[in-house]
Amino acid sequence: MTEPAAVTSVEAPPSGGTGGPAGRQGTGKPTSLWGDARHQLVRNPIFLVSCLYILVVTSMAVLPRMWTSQSPRTCDIRLSRNSPELWDHPFGFNLNGCDYYAHAIYGARPSLQIAIVATASVVVLGGLVGLLAGYFGGWVDAIISRITDVFLSLPFLLGALVLLTLLQVRNVWTVSLALIVLGWTVIARIMRGSVIETRNLDFVAAARALGAGHGRIMGKHILPNAIAPVVVYATILLGGFVSAEATLTFLGVGLQPPAASWGVMISTHQQYFDRDPWLLLFPVGLLVGTVLSFIMAGDALRDALDPKLQ
């Protein structure tokens, strides 16, 4: 008579942290939420294409010389608004006779720089605020929530316009500051809700019973298991901040000429769309492609990290 095989179960933290249930793959190896998401994302063509486009735009910002040998500041007014040439000047020339393709390549840097600085800052600020509010609750949560409500009541675009109007200098850092001041609230709300959902789970209670302090519980047990929704929103927010920079520049309170920026290119040449539409279509195409890539990557990441959608 044969003995029945023993059935065992293995638990692993969903995000590499401590605690939280995890599933098994067909190979029998324990997996985590992030591990499952990685396997799903590498098979998602939309995510891969989006990441490839983002990688191309990032290389334009970091290594513009890899894409063009022209300088955006080398201009000849006699070439003003000349039509695109297939090889030498594929985007033609702008109003000042500068190579428009070089402007488009170098314009990726300030747009991405503002988006990365602003997104990283709001993730740190909003994530910390939401973590404290969700973990401690009570009067801490009440005070932080009311402060968050005050900032949420400010219209984002109008608030950014007023703030940048008050600032004398318009550069990457001041535009980033305006986006940070008004953009941290949603991250705080997302993190707060995720922490509230996580703080009462069994592994957190076990860590507390073993004498772990607040800092260790928040940093080692709660944060790794509550950060996934913030990562998803931050990916989408990168595209939103690229669009916000172009919008503020178009309205005259963002980056100013002679800065090479997609927003500057759109703002400077929008009145020539009837006669020379390519002056507007090239920067708009790059802008839309970048924003759309971040949004699609964020959507794919959300689907991969949401167990309910598996």
| Residue-range definition of the domain harbouring residue 213 | 107-259
List, in order, residues 6 or more apart from 215 with CB less than 8 Å away: none
Q: Of 93-97, 145-149, 222-226, 291-295, where does mean pLDDT reach its minimum? A: 93-97
Closest alpha carbon to 247 in 169, 156, 148, 136: 156
- Rounded Cα distance, 200 and 194, in Å: 11
Count the domains in the chain: 1
156 found inside a domain: yes
102 found inside a domain: no
Residue % of the chain over a pLDDT of 90: 47
* Helix count and strand count (H, E) for the chain: 14, 0
| 133-187 tens-digit pLDDT | 999 989 999 999 999 999 999 899 899 999 999 988 888 999 999 999 999 999 9
- CATH number of the domain that 243 lies in? 1.10.3720.10
Q: What angle do CA 127, 128, 132 make, to 5 degrees?
A: 115
221 found inside a domain: yes
| 191-207 tens-digit pLDDT | 999 999 988 888 888 88
The distance from CA 234 to its chain's CA centroid, rounded to whole angstroms, is: 4
The DSSP code for 6 is P
40 found inside a domain: no
176 found inside a domain: yes
309 found inside a domain: no
- Rounded Cα distance, 217 and 222, in Å: 6
Exposed/middle/buried for residue 8 (C-beta within 10 Å: 0-12, 13-18, 19+): exposed
- Rounded Cα distance, 47 and 293, in Å: 8
| 207-259 tens-digit pLDDT | 888 888 888 988 888 998 889 999 999 999 999 999 999 999 998 898 888 88
78 found inside a domain: no
- Rounded Cα distance, 247 and 269, in Å: 14
277 found inside a domain: no
